[in-house]
Every structure is written in structure tokens, then in C-alpha cells.
Chain A
Amino acid sequence: MTEYTPLSEDLLIMLGAYVDGELTEDERAAVEDMANKDPRIAEELEGLFALNNDLRDVFNGLLEKPVPAEIIEATKPTPAPANTNKAPLRALAASLLIGATLGAGGMWFNQASKQQLQVAAARSWLGEVAEYHQIYARQTRHLVEVPASEKDQIEKWLAKEVGVDFKVPDLEAAGWTFQGARLLVAAGKPVAQLMYTNADGAVIAICGLQNGSGTPADTAVRAFGDVHMATWKSETGSFAIVGDAPEELEALAVIAAPLI
């Protein structure tokens, strides 16, 4: 059984306020004085500090839970109405996710349409990444969410959110300095985005998401308006280096692919 001494409610509130740093200097001194004189109060304070530590551990553990893709999707502004194919695709992706969470009961969706969806999604994620790049490359002050100094954390965080294990490739030798990372959503899937800048202030991004097909693919260069990309696939991930100069991107892709 517990042996908590029945201290008055008001005193307990005051001790809580001490632990929470809500007391004035005089009040703090008064509490410390009481604790020195009465071991029950000292013990109560110790218990409150210990509980706070437990609460922090437990609640901070909840931050590690992967955020579902539907929620990440809900943070995006409503897409422009121009692309009429996107909305049904998103609805389809959402229903697939619901199907997946329902388990066996939700397996109504046939394999053929699922593959079709993956192909369609693969085509559009690059387009969306190109749109993002035009925005982020101009964000000189807010280029990244998590800075390069937290590289280990970035690798863990993005691997967990995106579902692809990878390392941040070191492109210093080629003149590109890693600045940090962001998490995006493209075609309804979480996408890791690693940002690099060079001495001229130009920005490139390496983007990666899960490779739905599981089939590797060689480097290919594509253009989306002014934005260019060199793309490749490993067995687990689909990747793209995004930037302005197509020839350089292809060379960087060749350097980065084995490092990632």
C-alpha cells in the first residue's frame, strides 16, 4: 500500500507550483525552508520531480510515432483546380490507406487497380516535387526544417516517416554543402527532401520516397519547366536530384546514388 502523508490540498498545489517554476523568489525560499524542516515535504517534492521526469519520458515517446500520411496530406493547401486527375487519385489513395488499416476486411481493392495507382502516383510525385522546388529554392531564410547539424536525427526521422533507410550523401567534393532536411507530401506519400547549396547560393534537393514497385532503375534526366531532375531507383527507394542545371544533376546523381 502507499504511504502518502495527507498534506493539505493548498500545500500540494504550492509544491506543484514550485516544481513548475511558477513561484516568486520569496515563495521558493519559503518552500525550501519547509522542505528542510519537514522530511514529508522534501519527499513530496522529490516525488513530484520524479513524476515529471516519467511524464516527459512517456509523452516524448509519443513523438516518435510515425505520422499517418492522411494527416500530412491535410496540412497541404487545397490543390489548384487545374489538374483534374489529382483529386480522384488522392481519394483513391486515401481509400487504399483506409483499406490497409481495416486489414482483411478492407481488402476489397483488387491488385490490378492498385498497381495502376502506383504507376500514376509515381508519375505525379516528380511533378509535385518540381513545384515544391520552385518554392523552397527561394526560401533562403527558411530553407530547411531541420538543420544539417542534426544529421543523425534527420536520417532517423526521415527514415521513419518515409519508410526508406538512407544516409545523407556528402557532396562537399562536388561543391554542394548539406543544409538540412524537410518532409514533404507528394502524390499522397511522405517524401524526404535533403537540401544543398553551393558557393553561388544555388539550391539543389535530393528527394526520396518509398519505391512502390521494388524494381531498381538507372539514372534518367527529366525536365519540368525550368526545373530539372535526375532520377533513379533502388530496391527500396525512388530518388530524384532536383535543380536547374541538367548535366550537373546527372553527374551528382551518379555520385549520390551509392552514398544514399
Chain B
Amino acid sequence: MTELSKGLVPLLPRLRRFAWSLTRDWPDADDLVQTSCTRALTRAEQWQNGTRLDAWMYRLMRNIWIDETRKRTVRVGQGVEDAAESSALLTSFDSETTAYANQVLAQIALLPEGFSSVLLLVAVEGHSYAETAEILDIPIGTVMSRLSSARQKLKAALADQKGART
């Protein structure tokens, strides 16, 4: 049992959540976490004990996912999809999640590729813009513009839903 492998187990729920933010599909997210853990163990020497394992894993996962999307001919979520065309995405959440949470997740899933991971890292996990840029290998300016654009889109979509219900 290596230090790395011991460190991975408690991180798994967060790794899955990050994987979902990349893939926005649970089966893909689980495949990605599994592949990433296996790959991480073969590269254990590249992780220096004492450095943040979550950020190291996130970078690894992001790279594996980029390779995977390049291999795929059909890319899910490229550009802004029309909500009606993406009904499959809306059904991918389990019934345990509340109705409102489902709506928010569905809207996050509809954001352009690469936006939801920025939201997760900054707004939820509290990574700085600089850390987020490094994890996702994008310029800080892109982090800022994606973040702002994702927030405006979400606010508008959720306000529309609230408006439609009342």
C-alpha cells in the first residue's frame, strides 16, 4: 500500500465530482476517475509526497479527458446546446438529488465545454484563479472570462426557470 494509493481513497468523492464537471456524464466521469487512478499509480514517482494530491490528480484527469475527447468523433457539449436537444443530459441525475439541484446541475451541464470545471474549482472548492489556470492549463484571463460568462448564463437560465414556474 503506497502513500499515493492511501491518499487517493478519501479523495474519490471529489475526484468524481471534478470528473463530472469535465465530462458532465456519470459513466464517463467514473471511467475517467478509474483510468486516472490507475495511471496515477503507475506514475507515483512523479507525485511528491507533501504536494497537493488533489491538484495533481485534477491535472492528470484533465489531460486524460482532453486526449479522450480528441479521440471521440462526437463531442458532447461543444458550444452552447439547445436545452431541448440535450434532454439526455437532464435525465442523468438520480432521484436523491432535489428538484432544484437537478435544475442547476442540468444548466451546468449545458454550459459550453470547460466552463463547469472553472465554476467548481473557483466558486465551490475555493481555488485561486492562478491555481485554476494551472490545473486546467488555460490562461488566467480565460479563467476569468469563462467564470463570468458561466455565471451570467446560469443566473439567466435559473431566473427564466423560476419565471416559467410562477
Contacts and interface: CB of A to CB of B under 8 A. Distances in A.
Whether A associates with B in a native complex is: yes
Interface of A: 1-2, 4, 9, 12-13, 16-17, 20, 22, 47-48, 51-52, 54-65, 67-68, 70-72, 74-78, 132, 135, 142, 145-146, 182-184
A97 B156 CA distance: 41
Given A12-B152, A60-B124, A75-B5, A145 B13 contact: no
A1 B163 contact: yes
A205 to B, nearest CB: 14
B129 A20 contact: yes
B59 interface: no
Contacts of A77: 1-2, 5, 41
Nearest to B14: A63
Given A56-B123, A182-B9, 20 more contacts: A2-B159, A9-B145, A17-B129, A20-B123, A52-B123, A54-B104, A55-B123, A55-B124, A58-B105, A59-B124, A62-B20, A63-B17, A65-B96, A71-B33, A74-B33, A75-B5, A75-B12, A145-B9, A183-B10, A184-B9
Nearest to B103: A58
Contacts of B6: 142
Contact of B34 (A12, A52, A71): A71
Range for the number of chain B residues in contact with chain A: 35 or more
Nearest to A190: B9
A192 B65 CA distance: 31
Give the interface centre of A13, A55, A183 by most chain B CB atoms within 10 Å. A55
A67 B16 contact: yes
B9 A13 contact: no
Given A2-B156, A4-B156, A71-B37, A183 B124 contact: no
Nearest to A136: B1
Contacts of B96: 64-65
Contacts of B97: 61
A51 B154 contact: yes
Interface string B142-158: 00110110011011101
12 contacts: A12-B148, A12-B151, A16-B148, A20-B123, A54-B104, A57-B101, A63-B13, A65-B13, A68-B30, A71-B37, A77-B2, A183-B10
Contacts of B55: none
B53 to A, nearest CB: 11
Contacts of A1: 160, 163
A59 B5 contact: no
Given A22-B129, A71-B16, A59 B154 contact: no
B120 interface: yes
Contacts of B129: 17, 20, 22
Nearest to B93: A62
Nearest to B1: A135
B16 to A, nearest CB: 7
Given A22-B128, A59-B120, A51 B151 contact: yes
B86 interface: no
